Amino acid sequence: MLADIDVFKLRFLLKSIILGFAGNNLIPARGGELLRMEFFSRKTKISRTTSLTSIVLEKILDALILLAFLICAGFMLDEINDILLNTIKIASFIFLPITILLISIRIKGDKIIRWIGQRSSKVFLLLTNLISKFYAALTFMKTDINTLKILGLSVLIWSLEGLVFVIGIKAIGINDSTILVGIIALCFVNFGILIPSSPGYIGIFQAALIISLSLFSISSEESLAAAIIIHSCQFFPITILGLIIIFTNYFKPFNKKLA
């Protein structure tokens, strides 16, 4: 997504993403996204606004991929549940208009910026600056191979995470339609944790997974067991890696000891 803005070393991108996820596990209200923005901006000298814009665009792309997964899963069910149907409707109502707006900015960005820039008030100046940042971050949206790579990688990443859900659900002894159950659980949980909440999404993660598995008449006890397994797989490894990055980058006595 950032290929047209500049070229960065992979380790900076990887560390910033790990810090973001680890921060979300330790800081309430998805505060890890701000930690990710700050680390990435300091290491690459990219402005905080551009960095944060790229994170927002990534989340919107994630939501669209999950929405596509959920719609495909709905077609595979014999009968679509009201909870699933309403979730698809709400997600579509939120994210499709945002996507249309971003595409409009990408296509007509220059004209929109010039038109708003003619106004001299501070509000319009701030709005012009904000749209300019979004327009710059949207340069990856082209009908070329890079866009296909982004979409392909996004589908691959979410498929791999879906596999974690499938394995976690199988671990509690559920063997019927586990792939379909896992994909729907993946979508419900990740739509749920998009909402700023407690550190590590504790509570909302478990609730979203229990609701998703209730569509298949799986008991709350079994669903909670699956939620604990899956959440642990996501929580502990990334949090430990994030703490290691923080200590090795920001604590000089620790760095000297390692040297």
Structurally, the chain folds into a number of domains equal to: 1
What's the mean pLDDT in 247-252? 75
Per the domain annotation, does 214 fall within a domain? yes
To the nearest whole number, what is the mean pLDDT of the chain? 87
Is 70 domain-assigned?
yes
Range of the domain at 183: 10-258
Question: Considering the domain boundaries, does residue 2 fall inside one?
Answer: no
- Residue 129 and residue 122 in contact, taking contact as beta carbons nearer than 8 Å: no
pLDDT at 166: 95
Q: Amino acid identity, residue 64?
A: L
**pLDDT higher for 43 or 227?**
227
Residues 6+ apart with CB under 8 A from 211: 83, 188
In the numeric block, the tokens 């974690």 are attached to 164
Percent of all residues in the chain with a pLDDT value above 90, rounded to a whole number: 48
In a domain, 1, yes or no: no
Categorize the per-residue pLDDT at 20 as very low, low, confident or very high, splitting at 50, 70 and 90: very high
Q: Is the pLDDT of residue 136 over 80?
A: no
Which pTM was predicted? Answer: 0.88
How far is residue 157 from each of residues 62, 80, 167, 182, measured CA to CA in Å? 10, 26, 16, 15
Is the separation of the CB atoms in 17 and 36 below 8 Å?
yes
Residue 4 lies in a domain: no
* Three-state SS sequence of 152-182: HHHHHHHHHHHHHHHHHHHHCCCCCCHHHHH
Q: pLDDT (tens digit, 9 = 90+) per residue, 22-61?
A: 999 999 989 999 888 888 888 777 778 778 878 888 889 9
| Residue 230 is assigned to a structural domain of this protein | yes
Whether 3 is in a domain gets the answer no
* Amino acid 5: pLDDT: 63
Residue 96 above 50 pLDDT? Answer: yes
Distance from C-alpha of 16 to C-alpha of 22, rounded to nearest angstrom = 10
CA 82 to each of CA 12, 28, 75, 108, 213: distance values in angstroms, whole numbers, following the listed order:
43, 31, 14, 38, 14
Q: What is the mean pLDDT of residues 179-193?
A: 95
The answer to which of 29-33, 142-146, 223-227 has the lowest mean pLDDT is: 142-146
Q: Could you tell me the pLDDT band of residue 213, with boundaries at 50, 70 and 90?
A: very high
Question: Which residues lie closer than 8 Å to 106 by C-beta, 6 or more apart?
Answer: 135, 138, 141
Instruction: Using the predicted structure, report yes or no on whether residue 64 has a pLDDT greater than 60.
Output: yes
Whether 5 is covered by a domain: the verdict is no
